[in-house]
Amino acid sequence: MARSTSKDAQDLFRALWSAYSATPTNLKIIDLYVMYAVFTALIQVVYMAMVGSFPFNSFLSGVLSCVGTAVLAVCLRIQVNKENKEFKDLAPERAFADFVLCNLVLHLVIMNFLG
């Protein structure tokens, strides 16, 4: 069995990156959006660890708005992905409408819980 080296790892990442480059641009935009949401959530968790959990409801709503956004975006990504045969009957417009509606409900709840 061949020993793994750092060159293997580099090859692996390069292969992954080249495979990902083939992804359609609209899915890449969704991925960027998801990363943005997850990153914002992480920042808040670190902030809470430093400052303390005092306005805990605010913390929860801040983090949950990020997590909720990320989850909804992932759902959208699954549904608009052409490669995914499971949702081939679902029009991407319909998927986007669902996404918008869910986001509205999410942010309504977040606003109520934030103060």
Partner 1 sequence: MSKKLIVLFLGLVPLLCTCFSPDTPSDRRVLVLLDDFAIKSSHSIFFNNLKSRGFDLDFKLADDPTISLQRYGQYLYDALILFSPTIERFGGSIDAAAILDFVDSGHDLIVAANGNASDLIREIATECGVDFDEDSSALVIDHSGYAVSATEGDHTLIASDDFIKSDVILGSEKIKAPVLFQGIGHSLNPSNSLVLKVLSASPSAYSANPKSKLTSPPSLTGTSMSLVSVVQARNNARILISGSLSMFSNRFFRSDVQKAGSPTKHDKSGNEQFVTELSKWVFHERGHLKAVNVKHHKVGEVDEPAIYRINDDLEYSVEIYEWSGKTWEPYVANDVQVQFYMMSPYVLKTLSTDNKGYYFTAFKVPDVYGVFQFKVEYERLGYTSLSLSKQIPVRPFRHNEYERFIPAAYPYYGAAFSMMAGFFIFTAVHLYHK
Residue 79, interface with partner 1 (CB under 8 A)? Answer: no
Asked if 31 interacts with partner 1 (CB under 8 A), we say no
**Using rule CB under 8 A, residue 49 touches partner 1:** no
Identify whether the C-beta of residue 73 lies closer than 8 Å to the C-beta of residue 34.
yes
Nearer to partner 1, 15 or 104 (CB): 104
Least gap, CB of 103 to partner 1 (angstroms): 5
Among positions 81-110, residues that touch partner 1 (CB under 8 A) are 96, 100, 103, 107, 110
Measured CA to CA, the distance from residue 102 to residue 105 in angstroms comes to 5
Q: By rule CB under 8 A, what count of residues binds partner 1? A: 33
Give the nearer residue to partner 1 in terms of CB position, either 75 or 110: 110
Q: Which is nearer to partner 1, 87 or 107 (CB)?
A: 107
